[in-house]
Structure 1
Amino acid sequence: MNDGLVIRLQAFNMETKNEWMDRMRKLVEYWKLRTADDMNLLKSVRHANLEKLDIDEEMEAQLGQFAEKWEVSRATASPLLFNMCGISCCRAITMSGTLYRKPRKHTTFLQCGVILCHGQLLIFHGKLRERTGKEIPHIQHERQTAIDLQNCYIYSGLVTEGDLLYQNRTFDSNRPGHHALPRVYLEDGWTSTDEDTMTCFVIWQATRKSFFKSNEGTAGAGARQRLRYVSRLGVPGRSMVFKARSRAERDHWVMSVGMEIERLRQGEEVRLVDA
């Protein structure tokens, strides 16, 4: 190989590398602006609802838990946040952000990065810490696990109390009966006073399946029985608890994950059994 060809190949490789770097910079810039725009939209919708309902953030936390439909009938929801993009697959990534995850029932919450796409929930390491608890600066986010949403169920709200086990029991003499203290997040200025049960959602995955007889065709002589391998409800399964920063963010995640589960459903049957 002559020197001229080597020089041309090196120049081509440098040009290709520069193109890839330019694309990566544009993607980084896009996602930074996109994340900031989504947060500004969430703040604006929240502020508009607080003004319409004539309440403050403390009362919003109570209304989110116990309000009747007629009490929040004047509230509005943004079509840019709550849309049908998850079912229509108009974007490669349905939703992404930071959550706090408890992989097992008796463990503590750990911060992680979450990406919802193509019927899976991809979970990445959020922060690395030393044994003393000091954060280790790093730029690599290794994928920790991937949850297949094909046979999963999701629930949120007060029913997650049994999965939390350990809740915030801070006593505030100015607000008896309210256990959560006001919180502010410095990265984007978001504030929240919601209880732990109102910021959590649980993804439940069946760990047992069994055969179930089902009839095919019309009733009568033409009907035939077929064995199906279906999930069993009413037996212990795998529960993964996630915590968002506020009830508004939790509702956004629950809607997106729920739509993804509905899109993946293909008429799967379930079998109810005694505990």
Structure 2
Amino acid sequence: RTGGLLIFPRLIAAEHVTESGQNLPASSGIKQLDALVGGGLDRGTSTLLIGPAGCGKTTIALRWLTAAAERGECAAAFVFEETVETLMGRAKGLGMNLQPHIDSGNLKIEHLDPAEMSPGEFIDKVRLCVEEQNARVILIDSLNGFLQSMPGEQYLALHLHELLTFLNHKGVVSLMILAQAGVIGNVQTPADVSYLADNIMVLRYFEAQGEVRQAISMIKKRSGGHEHTIRELRLGPDHIHVGEPLSGFQGVLTGIPVLMEHGNGNGLRLDESKK
């Protein structure tokens, strides 16, 4: 742009109510992960993935984008924290080759600099992606960059609420990443936006059998049922594995699990985790 004034009108979700045309939940392509969330994520809902840095939030979200692209749907990721190349490299190392989906047009990944973008401009990008490219799954990675890099925007939470309502009206599966401060034990959330999300998925590090491991749980789903268990999450070369429920422990989400009396550590299999 070389001059002039560019205006981004405030998004009013009530003006964009349409029939989504799809009722089947969106699958992640991983049977155990779908079981955890109650058979898949419902169309027209938003999901917040919360956890400390590096625990697998973006990886889990990318599973839904990849699965959508594999079904021939359009998916889009708006990334604030890392470059597109870094994101694609990490995904490929976990068995998700995103390049063919980008080449086919089923997947769009865009890196954004929040210091150079107003909330209105970002929301307009997402709106156009849905209305012009028919995106069915949207990822915002992460809310930390979106919320904290625009401290002068007083009504940022209201903008985000209106955006999520718009996406829900359009039948879009919305995924949002929120990184928490801390690693094991006490972790803190930089901003309370949980009330904006229909679903909340929590990821944690925990220590067991002399190793630092990862756990995943669905703690809120506004529509329909879901598992109330905590499962182990294992990320490795070319694979993402969601294990059996950690039924032999309590306190997993605190980062310091305790083997219950008569428990046998169900769900933790040391040999399998090293494969």
The normalised TM-score by structure 1 is 0.25
Higher Cα Rg, which structure: 1
- Highest relative contact order (Cα 8 Å, sep 6+), 1 or 2? 2
The normalised TM-score by structure 2 is 0.25
